Structure 1
């Protein structure tokens, strides 16, 4: 297959997006009801607010208000500020006078439990996939390195993915997939902004030529990092993503 099929980066970007999303969503949901239990044990919705921010917060990075806004482009602003305030009030986040936020000791405790839960769940869900996971991690390492040249504000807030020497390969893969998705998110935002739309207008845009044009522009903007891979490596990545249970 890899010898007979070639995908240019832009075409591959269109094909990779749903494959990356499928693998990431499957992985992030792997804990099932246990995930809800961990969230509730640490404060419910106040803890849940940290999940999308887990990579930078676990690494000890501070997030600015502009970065937080970019990471929550499609959320109702009132709901976003309410969620942020609840996490601060619950003691999971601390807010500096300049508006930047970081995880507190209780916040880090929640993130440790969350990563441990994913380690357990993914060991079961992706067991027996070690060679495939290792190939994906290698390809993603190069893709993420290249993405640093073209990523926008949400990408810069999320990159690099959180990992240590003790991070299991399956959790490493989940975190790298998560970070890669933010490069496309920035590409998508740049595309609808270039079309003169707001976030609300983009959400409300019906299927049709205008939306198709924005998706095509998104793929073109999101293609650059995949040029770090050979044509054969792109096909292998798609096959490996599709084969993950």
Structure 2
């Protein structure tokens, strides 16, 4: 099996699992600010680093089609004449608080060892290093969403939990760009893609093309590092 296909569900399991585990902390941040974070909660790690260009925003949000009315009305973001999205000072404070809450929630969640041989937090330094290599390599192969969201913003005192969650969040957009390119190359709209049965020949061909387009980022790791990355992720709760 192609490595990109093999690692994809592990990345998704770990990331969605830790975001769910951190939800009580992020909910507390939202309540303290009294604001709906909208797209900030999904893209904070990129928005804190730079404005989000129109093309990058359209790509990153293509599967959710967000209504940005609230973001503008609440004063957490603005859009300039080119269509790029910027955080306001309020939006930036909210994004920083959410990033920190997610990092803290991750460390609390990943510290739990269901069996003694699980690495727990000991996995994070190496995972952060490997993710850093992957994100740097993705600059050459990533599409508009990945380019908008990487490199990620990390404060000077960033914890390992914050680093890993932010970098993992950005990495997922390399595959998302690959997937969009694959179904667009097949001449499909998103609606048509979603109507395809998962077992259909056309859907399987699109997934194979997605793996092919996603694969270059993992070439930044040698074979031993690729299996190490997969093993460290796989050993984390999710």
TM (normalized to structure 1)?
Answer: 0.87
Residues 1:190 and 2:190 are matched in the alignment: no
Question: Residue 21 of structure 2 aligns with which residue?
Answer: 30
Matches within 5 A, 1:219-230: 219-230=211-222
Matches within 5 A, 1:11-26: 11-26=2-17
Residues 1:115 and 2:91 are matched in the alignment: no
Residues 1:154 and 2:138 are matched in the alignment: no
Unaligned runs of 5+ in 2: 112-118
Residues 1:137 and 2:121 are matched in the alignment: no
Matches within 5 A, 1:1-245: 11-44=2-35, 46-59=36-49, 61-76=50-65, 80=66, 83-127=67-111, 129-207=120-198, 208-245=200-237
Ranked by relative contact order (alpha carbons within 8 Å, sequence separation 6 or more), the top structure is 1
Asked whether the 8 Å contact 2:47–2:149 carries over to 1, the reply is: no
Greater mean deviation of Cα atoms: 146-155 or 202-211: 202-211
In structure 2, relative to structure 1, the CA distance for the partners of 1:34 and 1:133 (3 Å cut) is closer
CA shift digits 1:56-112 (9 cap, x unpaired): 2212x1122222111111234xxx2xx312101101002223322211111111112
The number of residues matched between the two structures is: 229
In structure 2, relative to structure 1, the CA distance for the partners of 1:124 and 1:189 (3 Å cut) is same
In structure 2, relative to structure 1, the CA distance for the partners of 1:112 and 1:164 (3 Å cut) is closer
Report deviation, 1:16.
0.7
Q: Using the alignment, how far apart are the partners of 1:56 and 1:116 within structure 2?
A: 14
CA shift digits 1:205-227 (9 cap, x unpaired): 21211111110110011001111
Q: Using the alignment, how far apart are the partners of 1:48 and 1:193 within structure 2?
A: 27
TM (normalized to structure 2)?
Answer: 0.90
What is the Cα-based RMSD across aligned positions, in Å?
Answer: 1.7
